[in-house]
């Protein structure tokens, strides 16, 4: 299954690279599926001579894009972002998504909200009827984070500080911590998002609602789903 999953990720990433046009400003997401997209995009730039500017969502993506020769700029230095290609940890049929498994949710959401169009690339294992199987990341400031953890615990949100391989609390590119909430099923994502946004100490959450325009799903047969039901087609 793991080999198939990698193949499906590569399939989705390479298809996404075919969507990029000359002179575009492109938001570059974070994650294993996005890596395939960035590698395929770099190949197109080298072969076709495309003039592309990338806006990255994490230090990992910046390092990869630079190593592959992709020109980069900051989200604050470009007038607009034509298209952002990013991954997702989970997506449902209502286009709600959970992101942040790569600890880049804050920068990913900033770039997404400044893009004219957002496309997510996933493998078929991440597409569900209802989101919640993947833990929901919540980025929090370090100060008072233990008190915030207790509040989440009292609300029965099953919180867990994300940690590094050495057991320390993981720190994001913005210097914050991540508390993952194990919910299994999120029936009311808007209500949960509102609760988190009103909670002091929360910087951002991994619920991406009403953001994505199109989802590319790698599988035995590539699927592209847009927000318009009549535009569901296989490729």
Asked whether residue 142 carries a pLDDT value surpassing 50, the answer given is yes
Q: Is 32 annotated as a binding residue?
A: yes
* Backbone torsions φ then ψ of 71, nearest 5 degrees: -70, 135
For residues 129-143, give the mean pLDDT: 98
For residues 1-24, give the mean pLDDT: 94
Residue ranges of the chain assigned to CATH 3.40.50.1360? 2-129+210-234
Closest CA to 225 of 152, 157, 124: 124
Q: Is 102 annotated as a binding residue?
A: yes
Asked whether residue 1 carries a pLDDT value surpassing 60, the answer given is no
For residues 157-178, give the mean pLDDT: 98
231 pLDDT band, cuts 50/70/90, is very low
Please give the share of the chain, as a percent, with pLDDT higher than 90. 95
Residue ranges of the chain assigned to CATH 3.30.70.260? 136-206
At 127 the three-state DSSP class reads: strand
Asked whether residue 230 carries a pLDDT value surpassing 60, the answer given is no
Q: Among residues 14, 108, 139, 214, which one is catalytic?
A: 108
Tell me which CATH code domain 2-129+210-234 carries. Answer: 3.40.50.1360
For residues 125-139, give the mean pLDDT: 97
Asked whether residue 233 carries a pLDDT value surpassing 50, the answer given is no
Distance CA 152, CA 203 (A): 15
**C-alpha dihedral sign at 112, 117, 118, 121:** negative
The DSSP 8-state label assigned to residue 170 in this structure reads P
Distance CA 157, CA 176 (A): 20
pLDDT, position 227: 83
Q: Is 166 annotated as a binding residue?
A: no
Q: Is 201 annotated as a binding residue?
A: no
Q: What is the pTM for the complete model shown?
A: 0.93
Distance CA 140, CA 47 (A): 43
Distance CA 9, CA 37 (A): 9
Tell me which CATH code domain 136-206 carries. Answer: 3.30.70.260
Reading the block at residue 39, the tokens are 């590698």
Q: Which residues does 229 contact at the CB level (< 8 Å), separation at least 6?
A: none
pLDDT, position 228: 64
With vertex at residue 106, the alpha carbon angle to CA 102 and CA 109, rounded to the nearest 5 degrees, is 100
At 208 the three-state DSSP class reads: strand
* Active-site residue, 48 included: no
With vertex at residue 169, the alpha carbon angle to CA 99 and CA 186, rounded to the nearest 5 degrees, is 30
For residues 162-178, give the mean pLDDT: 98
């Amino acid at each position: 299954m793991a080999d198939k999953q990698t193949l499906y990720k590569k399939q989705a990433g390479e298809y996404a690279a075919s969507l990029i046009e000359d002179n575009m400003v492109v938001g570059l997401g974070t994650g294993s599926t996005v890596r395939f997209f960035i590698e395929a995009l770099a190949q197109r730039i080298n072969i076709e001579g495309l003039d592309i500017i990338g806006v990255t969502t994490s230090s990992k993506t910046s390092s990869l894009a630079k190593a592959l020769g992709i020109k980069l700029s900051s989200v604050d230095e470009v007038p607009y972002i034509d298209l952002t290609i990013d991954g997702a940890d989970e997506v449902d049929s209502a286009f709600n998504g959970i992101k942040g498994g790569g600890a880049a949710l804050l920068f990913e959401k900033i770039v997404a909200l400044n893009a004219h169009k957002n496309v997510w690339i996933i493998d078929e294992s991440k597409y569900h009827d209802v989101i919640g199987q993947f833990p929901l990341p919540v980025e929090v400031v370090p100060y008072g984070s233990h008190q915030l953890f207790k509040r989440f615990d009292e609300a029965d949100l099953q919180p867990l500080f994300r940690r590094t391989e050495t057991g320390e609390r993981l720190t994001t590119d913005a210097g914050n911590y991540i508390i993952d909430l194990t919910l299994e099923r999120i029936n009311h994502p808007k209500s949960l998002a509102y609760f988190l946004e009103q909670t002091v100490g929360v910087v951002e959450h991994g619920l991406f609602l009403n953001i994505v325009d199109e989802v590319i799903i790698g599988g035995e047969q590539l699927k592209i789903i847009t927000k318009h039901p009549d535009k569901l087609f296989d490729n």
